[in-house]
Amino acid sequence: MNLLLIGPPGSGKGTQGERLAQRLGLEHIAAGDLLRAEVEAQTPLGRRVSELMQRGDLVPDAVILGLLMPKVLAAADANGYLLDGFPRSVEQAVEARKLAEQAGASPNAVIYLDAPRDELMRRILARAEIEGRDDDNPTTVANRLEVFEEATRPLVDYYRDRGMLHIVDANMDEQAVTDQIVAALDGVCAG
């Protein structure tokens, strides 16, 4: 089974991505984590994207596609993937779909983690204390939420129209959210 996990910053993509990947035996591929690793290692790609990430803007489509797609296709060939934080725009979804379809690596379902804005803010600012991410400060978070509304939210209609969307209430404790997702996936067959 191949899954996409999308949602606003702070909705729990990383946490649920890890939990679900383990529970379902899928490879967890987190777009933001892969980008942060490049920045950390100061690779040419990392240097190219660090300022954009610090501002909370999206990195160019070609960069994220180039970084993710080889991993996505390889995971689809193995036990399947759970992709978190990608796509973040309809353009990315369309491009990825072309590449995945050719390789027989299309997603079977899309999980959308939904939570109210004040809860997202609360979680991100709490996480900032623990993880110290550069982009978890109030100014950048406001931009990330705006980028989400403009670029990413249209994916909800895009995937709903394709009958792939499962909206999950992410404003609950971790275990309850995981259980909801697993229940929503009941009946989504591998293939």
Which residues does the annotation mark as catalytic? 13, 88, 127, 133, 144
**Min separation Cβ 26 and ligand AMP, Å:** 18
**Min separation Cβ 111 and ligand AMP, Å:** 14
Tokens representing residue 84 in the block:
């978190």
Q: How far apart are the first and last CA of the chain?
A: 6
**Min separation Cβ 48 and ligand AMP, Å:** 12
Q: Which stretch binds ligand AMP (CB under 6 A): 18-26, 49-57, 74-82, 163-171?
A: 49-57
Q: Which stretch binds ligand AMP (CB under 6 A): 53-61, 69-77, 94-102, 118-126?
A: 53-61
CA distances from 179 to 165, 174, 185, 186 (A): 17, 9, 10, 11
Distance of CA 153 to the CA centre of its chain: 12
Among 19, 28, 123, 144, binds ligand AMP (CB under 6 A): 144
Q: Which residue is nearest to ligand AMP (CB)?
A: 32
**Apex CA 53: angle with CA 50 and CA 54, to 5°?**
85
**Min separation Cβ 151 and ligand AMP, Å:** 8
* 55-84 residues near ligand AMP, rule: CB under 6 A: 56-59, 64
Strand order in the sheet with 3-6: 27-30, 81-84, 3-6, 109-114, 165-169
Among 5, 20, 31, 82, binds ligand AMP (CB under 6 A): 31
Q: Which of 127, 148, 83, 17 is closest to 135 using CA atoms?
A: 127
| Cα distance between residue 155 and residue 64, in whole Å | 17
Q: Which residues bind ligand AMP (CB under 6 A)?
A: 9, 31-32, 35, 52-53, 56-59, 64, 85-88, 92, 135, 144
